[in-house]
C-alpha cells in the first residue's frame, strides 16, 4: 500500500496535465522568444508568402483592394512604431505589411506583363514576325522565340507580343524577319493537376501562344522594329554568333555542350547526348543557371580586384573589393 501511494504521488493525475492547446501555446511562445532578435529576417519570407498566395488563388483579385490593404497595413505599422509601441504590436504589423506587399507586388507584375493570348484557331494562319532568339530544340524541330508583327485573320489588338514557334530545318538567326505558315494555339495548360504550368511561366515571360510551323520559314520584309526589340535581337544575335564560333572550333559534339553552357543555346547538342544527360540527372547544367552566373561573377570579381591591386595609384584611392563587387554585379546582370 505504501508503494502504491508513492507511485500515485509521482504520477500526476490527468487533470493536472496541461492540455494539448496549452502545450501548443507554450511551444509557440518558446519559438517566438527564440526569434526575438531575428524577426526582421522573416520579412522577406512574409513578402514571398504573399507572392505565393497570389499565385495560388483560384480567382483573380482586384488591384485596388490589394493596394488598399497594403497601404493600410504599412500605415498601421508606421503608426505603431511612431508611437513607441512594443514589439508585440510592431513586429506582427510589419510581417502583415510585408505579406500584403508581396501580394500587391505579384499583382502589379501580372498586370505589367499582361499580353493578348492567342486564340485556338481551326485553320492554319500565316504570320510575319521578327526572330527574337533561338530556343532549345524540341521533339519535332527547333524552337524559336518570335515577335509577331501581323497575323492574318487577327486584329492588331488580338496579336500576341511574343510567340514560341517550332520550325523545321535549320532555325533562322536572331534579328531576321520571317514568314511562317502554321497552327496557332494558346500556351498549353498543365498536363495534370500540380504538374509544371508552362502557360503561367510563358505568361510572365510575355508569351501569348505557340506556333507549330507546317513548312519552311521564309524571309520577308518588315518595317523598322522598335528600339527595345532591336536591342534584344542584337544582343541575342551576338550570343548566337558566339555559340556558332564555339561549335565551329570544338566540333558539333563537344562544341554543342560548350555552347549550351556558355550562351544557353542547345541547338547543336546531339539527341543521344541530351538523353544521356537527362537520364543521369545532369541536364540542368546546360541552362543558364545560378552556377553559371556565379562562375562569371566570380571570375570578373577576382579579375577586376587583381587589376586594381596591380595599379598602385588606383589601389591607394579606391576600394578594390567594392569596385570588383560592382563589376561583378554588372557582369552577372549583363550575362543574365
259-312, pLDDT tens digit by residue?
887 777 777 777 787 778 778 877 766 666 566 677 888 889 999 999 999 999
Domain 125-225 has CATH 2.40.30: no
pLDDT, position 128: 94
Which residues face 159 on adjacent strands?
Answer: none
pLDDT in tens, 64-120: 999 999 999 999 988 988 888 877 788 888 899 999 999 999 999 999 888 898 888
Whole-angstrom distance, CA of residue 37 vs CA of residue 40: 8
Report whether 336 contacts 330 (CB < 8 A). no
- Beta-strand ranges (E) seen in 138-259 are 142-151, 162-167, 177-185, 207-213, 218-219
- Alpha carbon distance 164, 166 (integer Å): 7
Q: Take residue 85 and report the three cell numbers written for it.
A: 509601441
Backbone φ, ψ for residue 315 (5° rounding) = -65, -25
Closest by CA to 267, choosing from 229, 228, 241, 294, is 241
CA distance 91 to 35: 11
Packing angle, helices 227-250 and 252-263, rounded to 10 = 150
Amino acid at each position: 500500500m505504501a508503494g502504491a501511494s508513492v507511485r500515485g504521488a509521482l504520477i500526476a493525475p490527468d487533470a493536472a496535465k496541461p492540455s494539448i492547446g496549452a502545450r501548443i501555446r507554450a511551444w509557440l511562445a518558446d519559438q517566438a522568444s527564440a526569434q526575438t532578435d531575428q524577426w526582421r529576417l522573416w520579412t522577406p519570407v512574409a513578402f514571398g508568402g504573399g507572392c505565393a498566395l497570389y499565385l495560388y488563388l483560384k480567382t483573380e483579385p482586384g488591384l485596388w483592394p490589394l493596394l488598399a490593404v497594403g497601404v493600410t497595413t504599412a500605415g498601421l505599422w508606421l503608426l505603431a512604431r511612431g508611437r513607441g509601441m512594443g514589439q508585440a504590436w510592431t513586429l506582427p504589423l510589419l510581417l502583415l505589411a510585408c505579406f500584403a506587399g508581396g501580394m500587391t507586388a505579384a499583382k502589379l507584375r501580372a498586370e505589367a506583363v499582361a499580353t493578348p493570348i492567342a486564340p485556338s484557331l481551326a485553320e492554319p494562319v500565316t504570320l510575319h514576325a521578327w526572330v527574337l532568339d533561338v530556343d532549345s530544340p524540341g521533339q519535332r524541330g527547333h524552337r524559336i522565340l518570335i515577335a509577331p508583327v501581323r497575323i492574318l485573320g487577327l486584329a492588331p489588338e488580338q496579336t500576341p507580343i511574343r510567340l514560341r514557334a517550332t520550325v523545321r530545318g535549320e532555325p533562322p538567326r536572331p534579328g531576321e524577319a520571317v514568314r511562317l505558315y502554321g497552327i496557332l494555339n494558346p500556351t498549353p495548360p498543365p498536363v495534370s493537376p500540380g504538374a509544371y504550368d508552362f502557360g503561367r511561366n510563358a505568361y510572365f515571360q510575355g508569351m501569348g501562344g505557340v506556333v507549330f510551323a507546317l513548312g519552311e520559314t521564309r524571309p520577308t520584309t518588315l518595317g523598322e522594329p522598335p528600339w527595345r526589340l532591336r536591342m534584344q535581337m542584337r544582343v541575342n544575335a551576338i550570343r548566337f554568333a558566339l555559340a556558332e564560333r564555339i561549335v565551329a572550333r570544338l566540333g558539333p559534339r563537344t562544341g554543342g555542350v560548350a555552347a549550351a553552357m556558355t550562351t544557353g543555346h542547345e541547338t547543336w547538342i546531339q539527341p543521344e547526348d541530351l538523353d544521356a544527360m537527362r537520364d543521369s540527372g545532369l541536364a540542368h547544367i546546360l541552362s543558364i543557371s545560378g552556377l553559371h552566373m556565379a562562375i562569371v561573377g566570380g571570375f570578373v570579381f577576382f579579375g577586376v580586384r587583381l587589376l586594381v591591386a596591380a595599379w598602385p595609384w588606383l589601389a591607394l584611392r579606391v576600394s578594390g573589393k567594392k569596385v570588383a563587387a560592382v563589376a561583378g554585379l554588372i557582369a552577372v546582370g549583363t550575362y543574365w
